[in-house]
Amino acid sequence: MRNALRAEWTKARTLRGNTWLAVAIAVGTVVATAGATAAVTTAQCPTVTTCFEDTARLSLRGVWLSQAVVVVLAVLLMSNEYGNGMIRTTLAAMPRRVMVLFTKAAVVVGIVFATGVAGVAGSLLVGGVIMPRNGFTPENGYPPLSLADGPTLRAVVGSVLYLALIALLSLGVSTVLRDTAVSITAVLTLLYVIPVISTFVTDPQWLGVLQRLSPMTAGLAIQATRNLDLLPIGPWPGLGVLAAYAAVAMLVGGVLFVRREA
């Protein structure tokens, strides 16, 4: 087990592209959050005390963008080996295919978890600096962001878990499809297209169904800290929807990985 993990970790870290993608997850999350928080001010509201903006969720907005980088990183971890034929060498060295997939999952989740923590923590700090300058102050009804606040802590921890689940979903899809471009397109379509389609749905009942079934919309409900009763699905059940997608993708990918010749 230890040797298998070391081998997968060595393959992952020695590819320069993976290093840059890992950095991009952390940096991209912070930069995207900075742009999102800078664009929202209390001046856009009827009054400074009636914005009702979810400042914790706003400070974690960068996850919406960085998840695309997570998709690319996780897909490449599997599809690259099929593209260059390295998968045959990997399977010759480690014939237990379930172990191969497990170690790949452990490595990609470890990378995403570490970079996700850095990105989410940085985003919270950036949001805490920018938003008070835009009118989101205690005097206007917006207390400082703090991990001592239960909902904020849940949003932060949940955001990191969200990125880790996106990595598992992407790895599973890549194991099924074995092609980089097709796998990335499939996962990004699953994540981003359903929310786009939802904007054209006028029936409240069908809109709620789509939002509850969307892995991104449901999963990112974990970031909400205000007006939870207005959400189409609760924070933890929403993350559970994404976890179900990831579990199915990994299960199907694992079955096919074991049964295929290569």
What pLDDT digit, counting tens, does each position of 181-191 carry? Answer: 999 999 999 99
Q: b vs e for 210-247, b when ≥16 Cβ sit within 10 Å of the residue's Cβ?
A: bbbebbbbbbbbbbbbeeeeebbbebeebbbbbbebbe
Choose between 185 and 95: higher pLDDT.
Answer: 185
Choose between 192 and 83: higher pLDDT.
Answer: 192
How sure is the predictor about 239, in pLDDT bands with cuts at 50, 70 and 90? very high
DSSP H helices in 85-179: 86-93, 97-133, 150-177
DSSP letter at 39? T
Instruction: Kindly state the tokens that stand for 45.
Output: 């509201």
Per-residue pLDDT at 14 exceeds 90: no
When pLDDT is averaged across residues 149-166 and rounded to a whole number, the result is: 97
How sure is the predictor about 262, in pLDDT bands with cuts at 50, 70 and 90? low
What digits encode the pLDDT tens for the residues 65-94?
Answer: 999 999 999 999 999 888 888 888 888 888
| Dihedral, 165, 114, 33, 18 alpha carbons, nearest 10 | -80
* 70, 163 contact by CB (below 8 A): yes
Cβ-based neighbour number of residue 249 at 10 Å: 23
Report the alpha-carbon distance of residue 82 to residue 178 in Å, rounded.
6
When pLDDT is averaged across residues 158-163 and rounded to a whole number, the result is: 98
C-alpha distances out from residue 143 to 124, 132, 136, 149, 259, Å: 13, 9, 8, 10, 55
Cβ-based neighbour number of residue 47 at 10 Å: 8
Which residues make Cβ contacts (< 8 Å) with residue 98, sequence separation at least 6?
A: 254, 258
Report the alpha-carbon distance of residue 60 to residue 57 in Å, rounded.
5
C-alpha distances out from residue 214 to 45, 55, 89, 124, 200, Å: 29, 23, 37, 25, 15
